[in-house]
Amino acid sequence: MKKILTPTVIVFLITLLFAGGCSSPQPLTPAKITIYLKVIEINGEKHLEMYDSYDITNAVVDTLTTDVWPKDKVIWVPLDGGGIKKIKKIGPEKKGKIIDKDARKMLFSKKFKLKIPKDAPIPSAKEKYDIVFEDKDGTTWPIDPYLRIPPEDPTP
């Protein structure tokens, strides 16, 4: 049994090594990135606090930069009790390679979603986008965070 198994194992390992060495790079696996939003007040001025699903402990005021990859879905979620009455628009400041259109409102929800184009370049300069929303006091205002594609694929 040992003699039969050994050549089989060797042939199997050689096949694996050969197949691994000749394979083309695997495409990025699409992910869902969620960006959470809430209004805060600092020194009497209103700001938008944001954090993404990569690190929910790292809240950023007004200027969040979120890493995305081609074919990812980005979901913006106003937090319950977060002071946002409604989001009016999420879209590119100017059409870019990452953010090429406005995010769409998700049916029966306050959330918005955007799919990153499959042909977005890697890496990519960060692109500014606008979030226009109405706060609980009825004031409408915009904020300009960023999306970017970093130089390396994080998938193993």
Residue 14: inside a domain: no
Residue 6: inside a domain: no
Q: How far apart are CA 90 and CA 88, in angstroms?
A: 7
pLDDT digits (tens, 9 = 90+) for 49-82: 999 998 888 899 999 999 999 999 999 999 999 9
Residue 40: inside a domain: yes
pLDDT digits (tens, 9 = 90+) for 82-138: 999 999 999 998 899 999 999 999 999 999 999 999 999 999 889 999 999 999 999
Residue 128: inside a domain: yes
Residue 1: inside a domain: no
Domain range for 61 is 32-149
DSSP reduced 3-state for 15: helix
156 CB contacts (<8 Å, ≥6 apart)? none
Kindly tell me if the per-residue pLDDT of 22 is higher than 90.
Answer: no
Give the count of domains, the chain: 1
Residue 139: inside a domain: yes
87 CB contacts (<8 Å, ≥6 apart)? 37, 76, 78, 105, 110, 112, 131, 132, 133
Q: Which residues on adjacent β-strands are paired with residue 123? A: none
Residue 155: inside a domain: no
CATH classification at residue 63: 2.60.40.420
Residue 41: inside a domain: yes
